Amino acid sequence: MNSQSPEIHHSMQGASGQVSWESPANIALIKYWGKHPVQLPMNPSLSFVLKKSVVRICIDYAIQAGQASGFTGFLINGRENKSFSERIALFLRDVDPHFSFLKHATLKISSESTFPPATGIASSAAAFSALALCLCSVEAKLNNTAPEGSVFFRKASNIARLGSGSACRSVYPGMVVWGQTKSVSGSDDHYAIPLKPETVAPVFHSLQDSILIVNSSPKKVSSSKGHAMMHHHPYREARKEQAFSNLDRMLRAMQTGDLDTFGEVTENEALSLHSMMMSSSPGYVLMHPNTFRIIELIREFRRQTAIPAYFTLDAGPNIHMIYPQKEVEKVRPFIKEEVLPLCEDGKWIDDGMGNGPRHEA
């Protein structure tokens, strides 16, 4: 995709200002696992954004043509973060060809996150999507255009992808697909697109995601390493096929309001993701014994109550319990009484589907 922006205009010289976006984390139901350069997915994925788990980024910018660009540090909740600053510096280098102003810009970036400390929940999708939206907003301001519309969000998604693949799905509300597939018209490997709300039954417009924190320690193997191990994975082709076919089944289930198939596919994807890790070379396990116990508890709860509550996992031991919002009152006592004793210090985040990113300035 060519999202090269026009050369810096005279009127931009000396321009300065501030932009700010708040952007959420997302949870994938069909998993992105395996990629090829540059950050293009091996298979399509599908996710929805969360409400409470968000990162707010604010960029102060100053443009001076002829002057070397600079990035004066990255503050998280008011504090310097060296390792994330390095990642941001690399990201800014990678996205430079997409923004003509970047060469002449000095940026001061600060961020605030609502992610509760020590929960092991990754904030990179939220952070990179907020950052991408901010950069696109600076460009829009310099071009005197509004930071809205499908072209704006498509570019933001494309840019967010270069920071972290899953971040490209965080720029939209509702159900979002990233990766080219014949089943979704307009889908693309370079950016995510939202599913048309009318193709998703009402029950899937307000899902709950109770995040059960089993262990908050940093991951033994990063997602980036995990993706890389898919290159020579013995089940690579089978996994690819499975993801395409699971996405098709999921899209049909969402269209028809078929919760059983939705749940079956959601759980299948979570277990497949972790099977890929276990059968990688070298194999590794990110689940914790309590992850398995909670999976069994959720399945038993479903058998006994017929409440359509399902689990999914990201690349870690924590469980995302997904169920329709109308079941909240029935599910909460189950979580409190049976599940929280298996969580680290009884920690959980009662989150759910959110409305997507918010432009603040």
Lay out the site mask for ligand DP6 across 62-101 (x = CB under 6 A, - = otherwise). Answer: ----------------------------------------
Q: What angle do CA 237, 239, 243 make, to 5 degrees?
A: 120
Residue 263 contacts ligand DP6 per CB under 6 A? no
In the chain, which residue ranges form alpha helices assigned H by DSSP? Answer: 82-95, 124-142, 150-163, 223-228, 236-256, 259-278, 289-305, 328-334
Q: Which span (16-24, 57-65, 164-172, 205-213) binds ligand DP6, by CB under 6 A? A: 164-172
Residue 165 contacts ligand DP6 per CB under 6 A? yes
Residue 166 contacts ligand DP6 per CB under 6 A? yes
Q: Which is nearer to ligand DP6, 134 or 273 (CB)?
A: 273
For tokens 């929960």, name the residue: 119
Cis status of the peptide bond prior to 38, with omega within 30 of 0: yes
Q: Which span (105-113, 129-137, 223-231, 304-312) binds ligand DP6, by CB under 6 A? A: 223-231
Q: How many residues bind ligand DP6 (CB under 6 A)?
A: 16
| Three-state secondary structure call for residue 48 | strand
Q: Which is nearer to ligand DP6, 135 or 177 (CB)?
A: 177
| Three-state secondary structure call for residue 21 | strand
Q: Which span (70-78, 179-187, 220-228, 287-295) binds ligand DP6, by CB under 6 A? A: 220-228
Question: CA–CA distance from 330 to each of 161, 203, 325 (Å)?
Answer: 38, 16, 10
Contact 142, 69 (CB under 8 A): no
Closest C-alpha to 339, from 325, 353, 323, 324: 323
Closest C-alpha to 123, from 91, 92, 166: 166
Cβ neighbours around 288 below 10 Å, total: 18
Q: Which span (96-104, 158-166, 248-256, 349-357) binds ligand DP6, by CB under 6 A? A: 158-166
For residue 345, give both structure tokens.
């210090």
Residue 312 contacts ligand DP6 per CB under 6 A? no
Closest C-alpha to 1, from 142, 151, 119: 151
Among 12, 58, 121, 315, binds ligand DP6 (CB under 6 A): 315
Report the DSSP pairing between strands 105-113 and 70-76.
parallel
Which residues are CB-neighbours of 216 under 8 A, at least 6 positions away? 118, 119, 120, 344, 347
Q: Shortest gap between Cβ of 41 and ligand DP6 (angstroms)?
A: 8
Q: Which is nearer to ligand DP6, 31 or 155 (CB)?
A: 31
Q: Shortest gap between Cβ of 105 and ligand DP6 (angstroms)?
A: 24
Contact 142, 105 (CB under 8 A): no
Q: Which is nearer to ligand DP6, 175 or 315 (CB)?
A: 315
Among 45, 210, 280, 291, binds ligand DP6 (CB under 6 A): 45
Residues between 106 and 125 with contacts to ligand DP6, criterion CB under 6 A = 124
Residue 256 contacts ligand DP6 per CB under 6 A? no
Residue 28 contacts ligand DP6 per CB under 6 A? yes
Contact positions toward ligand DP6, by CB under 6 A? 28, 31-33, 39, 45, 124, 164-166, 223-224, 227, 273, 314-315
